[in-house]
């Protein structure tokens, strides 16, 4: 049965051998593939064919992977359900009638349904971890700067990273090893510090003895009872295997959702400005009397969906003279506060744990009418993007409504630590 996981299905063979030889990989449709259209789930880019490969695509090919297609997603990554795609919603293979999460819903569904061995997603505020949790697979959001963004169509460029999705922690770690590493085409990439463990696949050894897990009380407050019960079972399992847990407090996360949306929308308003109908999308529609400004507006009106328009408008507003200090600057201050909070938490713990999503998968259509509710569901994932930290979502169990994920957060370039902890659960 098709889950509408792909926007474009096409095979691109990689090199004959390499770490991923013989594996199939589904690539989120906001990651550029030379000669293969890259739509970002938007009408605007319906016919856009990039002339170049994203760095991660080059690395996949060089590692011998076979790309099997471009996966469905919320338009430009703006959503938590993959229902804002111009190419139709994606079914959750693990929870019938429910959303797969988003925005990398197609990638998570492709892996969950076995339509690809592995997948690439991108995570701006939870877009890899949320669908991983909802579809019962593993997803990693790397430290900002570990994986090149060259070729990733930007939604909010100061927040996002490309990350792997896979059925198991070990496979996700193997894929991350192929993706990671600095890139001269992305000035924000950095090499991990010399003492950082970068043999990610080997780190998936399930050994959590002596590991200290902090549990931020604030990230449990909004959790649904069923989710909470599964989360506590998962913690108990980790304790049984030798980890210790301790409650910690991250008071700044109260401000995280607001700060995240202000920053993400502000950046989006600028990143999406180029889609004006001149080179992408439709133009010449609407009455513009030859006025280019009107023509741009008309092209954007037909090219963007409701959620994209909402975020671009709000972001433009937040950056405007007279509101910049009240919104954008304040959000930046909150971001600094969040970073600081995480830094101090990691002085006493090795990893932080929370439910990935406070709720099980929504029923389809449920959240579309209430964007604010949808934004609040990101409460546990967005602080990690604000703080540029690595996080993994691993399947922790299932409620009647669908899978539940456990999120483990590490210090910057602490991917090996969260992979090790996550691998103890499976």
Indicate which residues carry an active-site annotation.
28, 103, 127
Contacts of 175 (CB under 8 A, 6+ apart): 20, 25, 118, 120, 164, 166
Binder among 150, 260, 337, 342 for another protein (CB under 8 A): 150
Cα Rg, the chain, nearest whole Å: 20
C-beta closer to another protein: residue 51 or 210: 51
Could you list the beta-strand ranges (E) of 29-131.
Answer: 66-71, 118-123
Biggest alpha carbon–alpha carbon distance for the chain: 71
Applying CB under 8 A, what is the total number of residues that bind another protein? 44
Binder among 217, 244, 270, 399 for another protein (CB under 8 A): 270
C-beta closer to another protein: residue 82 or 189: 189
- Residue 121, interface with another protein (CB under 8 A)? no
Closest contact distance (angstroms) between CB of 334 and another protein is 15
Q: Are the CB atoms for 164 and 140 separated by under 8 Å?
A: yes
Q: How far apart are the first and last CA of the chain?
A: 27
Binder among 94, 152, 299, 384 for another protein (CB under 8 A): 152
C-beta closer to another protein: residue 76 or 134: 76
Contacts of 43 (CB under 8 A, 6+ apart): 86, 281, 282, 302, 303, 304, 305
C-beta closer to another protein: residue 137 or 153: 153
Binder among 168, 182, 188, 399 for another protein (CB under 8 A): 188
Could you give the 3-state DSSP secondary structure of residue 166?
A: strand
User: Which residues partner with 121 through β-bridges?
Assistant: 163
For residues 361 to 380, the per-residue mask of contacts with another protein, x marking binding by CB under 8 A and - elsewhere, is --------------------
C-beta closer to another protein: residue 98 or 300: 300
- Residue 157, interface with another protein (CB under 8 A)? yes
CA dihedral 73, 74, 78, 80 (to 10 degrees): -100
Q: Are the CB atoms for 178 and 19 separated by under 8 Å?
A: yes
For residues 304 to 323, the per-residue mask of contacts with another protein, x marking binding by CB under 8 A and - elsewhere, is ------------x--xxx--
- Residue 245, interface with another protein (CB under 8 A)? no
For residues 29 to 68, the per-residue mask of contacts with another protein, x marking binding by CB under 8 A and - elsewhere, is -xxx-----x-x----x--x-xxx-x--------------
Q: Give me the DSSP letters along 54-68.
A: -HHHHHHHHTT-EEE
**Segment holding 393, helix H or strand E:** strand 391-399
C-beta closer to another protein: residue 258 or 316: 316
Q: Are the CB atoms for 77 and 40 separated by under 8 Å?
A: yes
Residues that bind another protein (CB under 8 A): 30-32, 38, 40, 45, 48, 50-52, 54, 149-154, 157-158, 184-188, 266-267, 269-270, 273-274, 276, 278, 280, 290-293, 296, 316, 319-321, 324, 328
């Amino acid at each position: 049965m098709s889950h509408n996981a792909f926007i474009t299905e096409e095979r691109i063979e990689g090199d004959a051998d390499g770490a991923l030889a013989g594996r199939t990989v589904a690539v989120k449709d906001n990651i550029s593939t030379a000669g293969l259209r890259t739509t970002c789930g938007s009408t605007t880019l319906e016919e856009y064919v990039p002339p170049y490969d994203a760095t991660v695509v080059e690395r996949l090919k060089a590692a011998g992977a076979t790309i099997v297609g471009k996966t469905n997603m919320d338009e430009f990554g703006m959503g938590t359900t993959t229902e804002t795609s111009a190419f139709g919603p994606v079914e959750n293979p693990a929870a019938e009638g429910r959303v797969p999460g988003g925005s990398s819903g197609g990638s998570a569904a492709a892996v969950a349904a076995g339509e690809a061995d592995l997948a690439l997603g991108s995570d701006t505020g939870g877009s890899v971890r949320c669908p991983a949790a909802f579809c019962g697979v593993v997803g990693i959001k790397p430290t900002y700067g570990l994986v090149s963004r060259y070729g990733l169509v930007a939604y909010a460029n100061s927040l996002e990273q490309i990350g792997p999705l896979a059925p198991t922690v070990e496979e996700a770690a193997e894929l991350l090893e192929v993706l990671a590493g600095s890139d001269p085409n992305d000035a924000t990439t950095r090499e991990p510090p010399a003492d950082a463990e970068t043999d990610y696949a080997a780190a998936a050894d399930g050994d959590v003895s002596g590991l200290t897990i902090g549990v931020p009380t604030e990230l449990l407050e909004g959790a649904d009872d069923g989710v909470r019960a599964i989360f506590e079972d998962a913690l108990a399992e980790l304790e049984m295997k030798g980890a210790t847990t301790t409650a910690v407090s991250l008071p700044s996360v109260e401000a995280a959702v607001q700060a995240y949306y202000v920053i993400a929308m502000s950046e989006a308003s600028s990143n999406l400005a180029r889609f004006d109908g001149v080179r992408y999308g439709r133009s010449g529609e609407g009455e513009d009397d030859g006025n280019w400004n009107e023509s741009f507006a008309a092209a954007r009106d037909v090219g963007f969906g409701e959620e994209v328009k909402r975020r671009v408008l709000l972001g433009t507003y937040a950056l405007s003279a007279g509101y910049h200090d009240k919104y954008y600057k304040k959000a930046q201050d909150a971001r600094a506060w969040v970073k600081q909070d995480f830094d101090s938490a990691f002085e006493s713990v090795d990893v932080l744990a929370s439910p990935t999503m406070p709720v099980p998968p929504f029923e389809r259509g449920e959240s579309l009418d209430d964007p604010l509710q949808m934004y609040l569901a990101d409460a546990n994932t967005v602080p990690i993007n604000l703080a540029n930290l690595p996080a993994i979502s691993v399947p922790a169990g299932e409620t009647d409504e669908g899978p539940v994920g456990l999120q483990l957060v590490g210090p910057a370039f602490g991917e090996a630590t969260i992979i090790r902890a996550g691998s103890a659960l499976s």
